[in-house]
Amino acid sequence: MPRRGILTYHDISTVGTPISVAPDTFRAHMAYLHSNGIRGVSVDEFLTAVASGDNAASRNLMAISFDDGFASVHDEALPILREYGFTATVYVLAHKLGGRSDWRRLGTIPDLPLMGPAPLRACLKAGWEIGSHGLDHHPLTEGRPVEVARQMRTSRAELESLFACPVYSFCYPYGAFTRDHCVAARDAGYRSATTIRVGYIENPLVRPFAFPRLGMNIVRTDPRLQQALLKATVKGHAMRFVKLRRILTRRPHHSGEGAVPCV
Ligand SMILES: [Zn+2]
């Protein structure tokens, strides 16, 4: 069975930042998945299907995730995913809904508008999952345990109350986490937590609070290289994916090897 994983996107626009993917490029990614018989689903649906052990149910799934909850996700990605019958998970910040990404960012990324409750409800209505990215993009590695617990527990409680839906999935701000944070995420009631480590998910029961993902932030639009990256993604060729991604992304000089900037 080919290896499957969680694709990561941030902003879907032509703004041209290192975390932006142009709508046409995003559409090409989704079209490639669709033409290869793969359906994009939320993180929780993907993990539940893989954990069931039913290979027939999970072999044609790939999870799609959006970090931060940019307004462009509703405006650009939602109609494209709807067209293909796909869903996704959007990791939002409970205290930034309807605001801007005005937290400490990496590189030259501008602050961009974020979805408020109404567009997020439209995503929910389309079958998407709302996950938590914390309250305000506070780096958990700089917080005391009580602050880490507050970021995880309060964001989950507030999002569940506002949207009247369960919040099962967490995403570490900046992708930074420790073993204690994995325990805190579990204790806060989440089923999984995602990072920006690059990789596929071999077994969703192993380290479910430190899942790697497949960063799809592509700055260069060379069609041949993009096609090769998509092929590696679908075939589950991890080494080839990492190599191609290095070529296709413009990594900020102060981020870790292979890391996606997470604004
Ligand atoms: Zn983020």
Q: In angstroms, what is the span from residue 56 Cα to ligand 1's centroid?
A: 33
Output the CA 163–ligand 1 centroid distance in Å. Answer: 20
47-105: pLDDT as tens digits: 998 888 777 778 899 999 999 999 999 999 999 999 999 999 999 999 999 999 999 77
Mean pLDDT of 230-246: 89
Q: Which of 84-98, 122-136, 189-203, 245-259 has the lowest mean pLDDT?
A: 245-259
CA diameter of the chain: 48
Decide if 262 is inside a domain.
Answer: no
Establish if 259 belongs to a structural domain: no
Q: What is the pLDDT of residue 262?
A: 53
Structural domain including 160 reads 6-248
As given in the structure block, the two tokens for residue 239 are 């080494």
Q: Is the per-residue pLDDT at 215 higher than 60?
A: yes
As for how many domains the chain has, the answer is 1
For residue 142, tell me if it sits in a domain.
yes
Instruction: Report residue 208 as tokens.
Output: 């479910």
Q: How much is the pLDDT for 7?
A: 96
Give a yes or no: residue 261 inside a domain: no
Does residue 171 lie in a domain region? yes
- Residue 119 pLDDT more than 90? yes
> Is residue 244 one of the residues assigned to a domain?
yes
Residue type, 201: I
pLDDT of residue 2: 65
**CA of 68 relative to ligand 1 center, distance in Å:** 5
Angle ∠(41,117,109) on CA atoms, nearest 5:
75
CATH for 207 = 3.20.20.370
In three-state secondary structure terms, 74 is helix
Q: What is the pLDDT at residue 258?
A: 41
* pLDDT tens, position by position, 135-182: 999 999 998 999 999 999 999 999 999 999 999 999 999 998 999 999
**Position 30 in a domain:** yes
Query: In the prediction, which pLDDT does 117 show?
Result: 98
Would residue 1 count as lying in a domain?
no
Q: How far away, in angstroms, is 170 Cα from ligand 1 center?
A: 11
